[in-house]
Structure 1
Amino acid sequence: MSYAIGVDVGGTFTDVVVSGRSVTVAKVLSTHEDPADGIVTGITEALGRAGVAPGAVTRVVHATTLATNAVLERRGVRVAYVTTRGFRSAIPLGRYARVEEDRYDLRFVPPPPPVAPEDCFEVPERVGPRGETLEELDEDAVRRVAALIAERGITSVAVCLLHSYADPGHETRVAAILRETLPPGSTVVTSSEVWPELREYERATTTIMSAYIGPVMARYLGRLRERLDAIGVTAPVHVMESGGGIMSAELAARKAVATIESGPAAGVLAAALTGHPDIISFDMGGTTAKTCVIRNGRPEITHEFHVGGKGSYGGRRAGTGVPIKTPAIDLAEVGAGGGSIAWVDAAGALKVGPRSAGSEPGPACYGRGGGEPTVTDANLVLGYLDPSSLGSLPLSPELADKAVDQRLAWPLGVSRAEAAHAVHEIANAAMGSAVHVVTVQRGIDPRGFVMVAFGGAGPMHAARVAERFGIDTVIVPPHCGVGSAAGLLAGDLSTDRVLSRLGAGDPSAVFAELAAGAARDLGLAPDSQDVTVERSVDVRFAGQAHDLTVPWSDALDELSERFFAKYQQVYGIAQRGPVEIVSYRVRLTQRAATPPPAHEGVPGRSPHDGGAGARDEDRAGAGGGGRTAVRRAWFPEAGGFTATPVLTREHLRGTSGAGPASATGPAIIEDAEATIVVPPGWTATLSPGGAVTLERAR
């Protein structure tokens, strides 16, 4: 029997899923100094619970926030930037839109550019937009630039020459000279290798970020490989990429920029596994909450996003942050998670997030030195959480009470429960704004969608968020608390290639070139039979500057109709006219060798015994054996605290007479790694596949 492991490293917890004959999970605190420590701890714990030998593991799939954190925290390597003569100032000048509070800052200082001005260099050369050579490359000038870079001790270089997507010859030669001059082991990244697409600023920032985080990713993956070998896990390591596929660790080190949205992408795949065609995925972890729209079984994909940018309610504003040109699942994200800190500002207003307590010290109730109240503390005060819900990390109701009293209730002049409920509601409002971004703001009516909730905190808040949008159905899949890690095992080995080619005479030749390059990325033979190739193109109206991506058709009339329909969907305007193709795209996919097993119960953990709220509850018995626990939980419809049944999925199964086949809210359903809150007016039932379905009374 072979086994696969999915590992998702989040801001607060590292989740591990071992899948084979059965599914076993582990949830441990993330170790930010070295994420590999938490990964090894979680894998060792999960394998031990499953009784699986490390040598039986044949596949490890990893989602990581390493690349994102390196950009946000500016922990990448020093990079030199080489471009065409006359364009070296493009990066130092940058592009920044003053949004939100920056609009009113009279002393506003733009953020520093990704490359310092003194580390930007230019070389004489020029290629036209259709690949024509306008000025030959001055190789002596390149050698002088290479010597200057070497003198400064810089060992990572990004090369982005004007219109190199049309003819990469000059870029290739510049890179060769740099590699000859710089010390062995230096990193040289060219835009024609990373993402050969027009728009030089976005292409440049994408190339720079690849050079900036590539060495960090390579070192991390190498260290992880060594740590896994040390515990006997010798299976190949794959990494989730931003577009929802997976790539080898070697390719991830070379194309690190493709992993920037690695973690959030895995959760969307988990939501898609429920089988519903139209879904709003809702993933709430310890640090952030993320939403995405899935239509016709496929998540929305964007080909440009911004890292570290500012925006409103989960959206990111163009002109803020660093633009990245690579396919990514289109997500809205807000700083509202279980660890989000609640605080009272100078004007006496209650705020929640975006600052998070993370895993060190964590929420106050963790008892690890944190004193600030968080969403998790509020949920514990409200009776939604069991103090034993995190297994080996017991939660302290007393510390949660103290934090909420001292930091919130007393300054606001309200009761402890009212303050905690306000925190819960503000977090719901913040997450609702993210749903608004991916639906209403884009002309999508969310009322016809099913919400799929996962993450350690998602099922506690999902029904309340759904109510805000008239969504009547919420699905909480099995293993919801480690949903992203479970989704990793459904990812297929895949990679994307793009090429801007204006006026290409033979599109089939361009697609063939891209497919061959993608096959090399995956280590496959060009004529492999077990792969699928998806072809698409970027199309625009002749004379316009921006384009839309549509599936390819050999028939120009059909391609035009697809573009017209997409244009109306995006802009709400029915427009027709001559069109032109700007870029060609290929996505090569090889099906996963170890699909996850059918949904089943989580071994290695007994049901909860209703321990949460033991300080103020009346128990009707332990969690199993046909007896339902009861604890007091806060529901405003019931006037505050009310005796609330505490169930497990086994109670809902109803196959042995141990419990009801459904539960009417208010109720709480406890999983091994997450808690589902069923508010009044909602009913919970268990599907044959093991998912809990919440239905709202109409």
Structure 2
Amino acid sequence: MGYAIGVDVGGTFTDVVLSGPDGVAAVAKCLSTHDDPIAGIVTGVTRVLGSADPARVTRVVHATTLATNAVLERTGARVAFVTTRGFRAVVPLGRYARVEEDRYDLRFTPPPPPVAPGDCFEVDERVSARGDVLTPLDPASVRRAAAEIARRDITSAAVCLLHSYAEPAHERQVAAILRERVPHVVASCEIWPEIREYERATTTIMSAYIGPLMASYLSRLRECLAAIGIHAPVHVMESGGGVISAELAAGRAVAAIESGPAAGVLAAAGTGLPDVISFDMGGTTAKACVVRGGRPEITHEFHVGGKGSFGGRRAGTGVPIKTPAIDLAEVGAGGGSIAWLDPAGALRVGPRSAGSSPGPACYGLGGGDPTVTDANLVLGYLSSASIPLSAPLAAKALDRLAGPLGVSREAAAHAVHEIVSAAMASAVHVVTVQRGIDPRGFALVAFGGAGPMHAAGVARRFGITTVVVPAYCGVASAAGLLAGALSTDRVLSRLDAGDPEGIFAGLAAEAAADLGVPEVRVARSVDVRFRGQSHELTVEWSESREELESRFFAKYAQVYGIAQQGEIELVSYRVRVTDASAPAVPATPPPATGARAGIPGRRRAYFPEAGGYADVPVHTRATLDHVAGPAIVEDAESTIVVPPGWHAAPGAAGAVLLTGDGAA
């Protein structure tokens, strides 16, 4: 029996979990190395292995923000865009919603398009929406485009011809000719053959943009792991919560753009509670997602790099990506978020983060700006037990806020704590209240290095009375990686196709070949809309037209709040193919064993309900039996704050269960 390793690279910390036949064997949390993320990975992997034989590692599962960062920082490859004659301006024109401060900017300049207008090329061809060839492909026009792309030393190309989802033959010919002159070519029919030209084009462009970077990164990761004796296959978490091989991730790089956040949601779904809100607060961002019936919500379109988009759900912001992703909201609020005063003298927190370098002031690595971590240290919520933290440096940083605000150091620190909690609550609001979901019927599952410190405060804002902090909460995303099954998705748009079974069979066979496993499970769904409408809803497939209509009508009422019936049409067909031969992931044991005993420590911590600083008990999971707040429960990777009015007790599988009075 071998080991599996989960690696989650975040903006501040790199988390590594080593799991054996009996569950989690070791965990590590180390600062991310932004100049070379692999260096931090190797440090964490070496730490969790200890004296274990690296040859016994049979699987490495990785979640990375590499693709997202490449899009945000514009560090991907230069891409040439090739499309049908007459449509080269589709991408340069783009779409942009003026949100936040842009609404009032009289000199507003839209962000640059993902491909420069001069790098967009046209070829002679035309296919109708039904797949009929209206203009045959002219290979000479393709060769002219290929020659010009090569002359400009552009090494990556994205091909997206009009209506190629209906008939991909032209697009495949174009890609084949381009590959004679261009090293990296991506065709939309190979990535995501779905209707809507602009979204399909941007999805293909982003795959071409980050593909070379992802391929190089994963190749070097395998080499570095091999250098320390690990020759196991490397898998990558998809945005939709599945796991694919490194080779497939390099070829379909766009599928891994949201890989990091997806892993944490799987960890929350694995707590065993049917209806929960996943709340993940790390060093740079905080993420929230709704899990109903044990399954996270899935979206089939999100946006990368937009303003005010709460993780990419606001149309018209950023670059649209058409690929399945766990539907979460994300805000720039984490332990490393910097507190600052705006020109009007109001206190703000984030979205800028101190990251891992220089990090919060209390890290002693040269950072001087006050952060959320510095505030929590001043308030007494944190200690230097697991990571050395400097209280004097944190106090000095907070004094820089307290002076201009005219308040005490602890009042400034508490204000930072409350403001960042309000910012994170906005993410919960987006995935619940804004979508007509009453959050009071859900439990909040809190994890991440900073999440359990703020969880009770966030829950109280919504009247949520139950908070679950799972075992190994500080590295829960890395642990969640190991719960993801090897799987991949495929889609094909065909307006009311005459042979749905044939389409499903073809998509499943293609996906199973990519997975390369002996036995698979296939989940089928279809995009449905009322005839005459422009947008669809995804529902589980049924061969019975009546049952399919019933599911669509119910979904429509759930999403829009209106009971509606009428003639429907089927637009796109989807499959998710999962490895059915993989063994079940072992349950995670509690991080501490034996009878609950021992004497808790004590320290001063700030709680306004208690009149300021109070002497409170400090438990570990080993000493915790039942305690009323105010209290603190410390983990090696995180800290749980139990405010007045809340109670903490041991839960199932090593979790800590917080219950409150629900006063919002």
Scaled by the length of structure 1, the TM-score of the pair is 0.93
Q: Give the drift of 1:259.
A: 0.2
Secondary structure at 1:189 match in 2: strand
Partner of 2:294: 297
Q: Secondary structure at the match of 1:282?
A: strand
| Alignment partner of 1:278 is 2:272 | no
Secondary structure class of the residue paired with 1:376: helix
1:531 deviates by 1.7
Equivalent residue number for residue 504 of structure 1: 497
**In the TM superposition, what whole-angstrom CA distance separates every residue of 1:563-621 from its partner, at most 9, and x where no partner exists?**
00000111111110000000000000114735443332448xx99xxxxxxxxxxxxxx
Match for residue 617 of structure 1? none
Work out whether residues 542 and 578 of structure 1, in 8 Å CA contact, stay in contact via their aligned partners in 2.
yes
Does the residue aligned with 2:254 lie in a helix, a strand or coil? helix
Distance in 2 between the 1:599 and 1:197 partners? 39
The residue aligned with 1:399 is 393
Using the alignment, how far apart are the partners of 1:344 and 1:164 within structure 2? 52
Which residue type is aligned with residue 64 of structure 2? T
- Alignment match, 2:350: 353
Identity of aligned residues (%): 73
Letter in 2 for 1:666: P
The equivalent residue for 2:557 is: 568
SS of the residue corresponding to residue 326 of structure 1 reads coil
Aligned twin of 2:524 = 535
The DSSP-based 3-state class of the residue aligned with 1:582 is strand
Contact 1:63–1:263 (8 Å) recurs in 2: yes
Deviation per residue, 1:59-98 (Å, 9 max, x gap): 0000000000000000000000000000001111111111
Question: C-alpha distance in 1, partners of 2:164/2:588?
Answer: 49
Q: CA deviation at 1:461?
A: 0.4
Confirm whether residue 381 of structure 1 aligns to residue 378 of structure 2. yes
Q: Is the 8 A contact 2:332 2:351 kept in 1?
A: yes
> So what's the TM-score if we normalise by structure 2?
0.98
Residue 689 (structure 1) shift: 1.5
Q: Distance in 1 between matches of 2:549 and 2:597?
A: 63
State the 1:107 CA deviation.
1.0
Q: Does 1:695 align with 2:659?
A: yes
Deviations, residues 40-61 of structure 1 (Å, cap 9, x unaligned): 000001111xx31111100000
**1:124-167 residue CA offsets vs partner (Å, 9 max, x unmatched):** 10001111000000111111110000100011000000000001
Q: Deviations over 1:416-469 (max 9, x none)?
A: 000000000000000001000000000000000010000000000001100000
Partner of 1:580: 569
Mapped pair 1:642 → 2:631: no
Distance 1:334 1:464 in 2: 17
Among residues 215, 220, 226, which one is paired with 1:218 in the alignment? 215
Partner of 2:99: 99
Amino acid at match of 2:392: E
Which deviates more from structure 2 when the two are superposed, residues 305-314 or residues 38-47? 305-314
Q: How many residues align?
A: 659
**CA pair 512-625 structure 1, distance change in 2 beyond 3 A:** closer
Question: Aligned to 1:554, which of 533, 543, 546?
Answer: 543
Structure 1 stretch displaced more, 626-635 or 485-494: 626-635
RMSD of Structure 2 on Structure 1 (CA): 1.4
| Distance in 1 of aligned mates of 2:142 and 2:588 | 58
Residue of structure 1 in register with 2:511 after alignment: 518
**Which residue in the other structure is 2:31 paired with?**
29
Is 1:239 equivalent to 2:241 in the alignment?
Answer: no
Distance 1:531 1:643 in 2: 56
Letter of the structure 2 residue corresponding to residue 369 of structure 1: G
Shift of 1:347: 0.7
Structure 2 distance, partners of 1:585, 1:69, is 29
Aligned partner of residue 387 in structure 1, secondary structure: coil
Q: Secondary structure at the match of 2:158?
A: strand
Q: Which residue of 2 aligns with 1:598?
A: 587
SS at structure 2 position matched to 1:689: helix
CA contact (8 A) 2:591 2:654 kept: no
Question: Separation in 2 of the partners of 1:436 and 1:259?
Answer: 26
1:330 to 324, 327, 332: 327
Shift in Å, 1:628 = 1.7
Alpha-carbon contact 1:389-1:674 (below 8 Å) kept: no
| Structure 1 residue 511 displacement after superposition | 0.3
| Distance change (3 Å), C-alpha of 1:313 and 1:173 | closer
Q: CA deviation at 1:320?
A: 1.1
1:200-241 residue CA offsets vs partner (Å, 9 max, x unmatched): 000000000000000000000000000000000111000000
Contact 1:313 1:430 (8 Å CA) reproduced: no
On the 8 A contact 1:602/1:672 being kept in 2, the answer is: no
The reply to whether residue 670 of structure 1 matches residue 639 of structure 2 is no
Structure 2 distance, partners of 1:230, 1:695, is 48
3-state DSSP of counterpart to 1:650? coil
Equivalent AA in structure 1 for residue 657 of structure 2: T
Q: Which amino acid aligns with 2:308?
A: G
Q: Is the 8 A contact 1:25 1:602 kept in 2?
A: no
Contact 2:590/2:653 (8 A) holds in 1: no
Distance 2:456 2:589 in 1: 24
Q: Secondary structure, in 3 states, of the residue corresponding to 2:179? A: helix
Tell me which residue corresponds to 1:682: 646
Which amino acid in 1 is paired with 2:95?
Answer: R
Cα distance in structure 1, aligned partners of 2:322 and 2:311:
19
Give secondary structure in 2 for the equivalent of 1:395: coil
The whole-number CA distance in structure 1 between the counterparts of 2:583 and 2:5 is 10
Q: Distance in 1 between matches of 2:389 and 2:203?
A: 43
- Cα deviation, residue 503, structure 1: 2.6
Q: What is the 5 A alignment of 1:67-106? A: 67-106=67-106
Q: Which residue of 2 aligns with 1:616?
A: none
* 8 A contact 1:493–1:592 mirrored in 2: no
Letter of the 1:5 counterpart: I
Determine the structure 1 residue equivalent to 2:471.
478
Question: Could you tell me how far apart the structure 1 residues matched to 2:546 and 2:4 are?
Answer: 46
Q: Which residue of 2 aligns with 1:124?
A: 124
- What's the counterpart of residue 440 of structure 1? 433
Q: CA deviation at 1:647?
A: 0.3
Matched to 1:208, the amino acid is I
The structure-2 alpha-carbon separation of the partners of 1:315 and 1:262, relative to structure 1 and needing over 3 Å to count, comes to closer
Residue 48 of structure 2 corresponds to 46
Q: Are the aligned partners of 1:315 and 1:437 in contact in 2 as well (CA < 8 Å)?
A: no
CA distance in structure 2 between the aligned counterparts of 1:381 and 1:102, rounded to whole angstroms: 36
Shift of 1:23: 2.2
**What letter corresponds to residue 317 of structure 1 in structure 2?**
R
Which piece of structure 1 moves more, 413-422 or 96-105? Answer: 96-105
Aligned to 1:627: 599
Give the drift of 1:625.
7.0
Q: Which amino acid aligns with 1:14?
A: T
Residue 199 of structure 2 contacts residue 321 of structure 2 at CA under 8 Å; is this kept in 1?
yes
Shift in Å, 1:626: 2.1
Q: CA deviation at 1:312?
A: 5.8
Partner-residue secondary structure (3-state), 2:654:
coil
2:236 alignment partner, SS class: strand
Of 482, 486, 491 in structure 2, the residue corresponding to residue 493 of structure 1 is 486
Question: Given residue 562 of structure 1, which amino acid in structure 2 is its aligned partner?
Answer: R
Q: Give SS of 1:669's match.
A: strand
State the SS of the aligned residue for 1:651: coil
Q: Residues 375 and 416 of structure 2 are in contact (CA less than 8 Å); yes or no, is this contact kept in structure 1?
A: yes
Picking from 256, 260, 283, the partner of 1:263 is 260
Deviation of the 1:478 alpha carbon: 0.3
Quote how far apart the aligned CAs of 1:317 are.
Answer: 2.0
